[in-house]
Amino acid sequence: MSKKKSDILTIKNLKILMAAENHNNNRIYGLIFVSAFFDGIFTGAYIRTGIDASPSGIGIQIIDAISKILPSGNEPLVEFLKILIFIIPWIVTAILILIAQDRRIGLIIWGIIFVFMLLLVGFY
């Protein structure tokens, strides 16, 4: 049984596609690592100082400042925006873990790095 030239090209293309998929998955694991790294740092700093310096914490402080100059009656909108700004980083992290090839590895990477940075910054 001989292989046709088109079959060999198809196998080469499949190998290239598989390598590209693995490369993209490594990028996703890297994004999960970075997300956990900064989540751990900001959470540890919040535990240690009581000041939320994360991007979402700064956004919530800005909304608080703006809400003081808005007329009354906008409290539900302000609270909704605060909740939305607080939840967005966690949703992005969850999406990254869900699109990873192996979700368990993504969750383990996130958990280990988050706890390590939390302990390093918050309690060291």
Range of the domain at 20: 5-123
User: Band of the pLDDT at 20, cuts 50, 70, 90?
Assistant: low
Lowest mean pLDDT across 2-6, 56-60, 64-68, 110-114: 2-6
pLDDT at 25 over 80: no
User: Which DSSP string do the residues of 26-76 spell out, in sequence order?
Assistant: HHHHHHHHHHHHHHHHHHHHHHHHS---SHHHHHHHHHHHHHHHSPTT-HH
pTM of the model: 0.72
Give 41's pLDDT tier (boundaries 50, 70, 90): very high
What is the number of structural domains in the chain?
A: 1
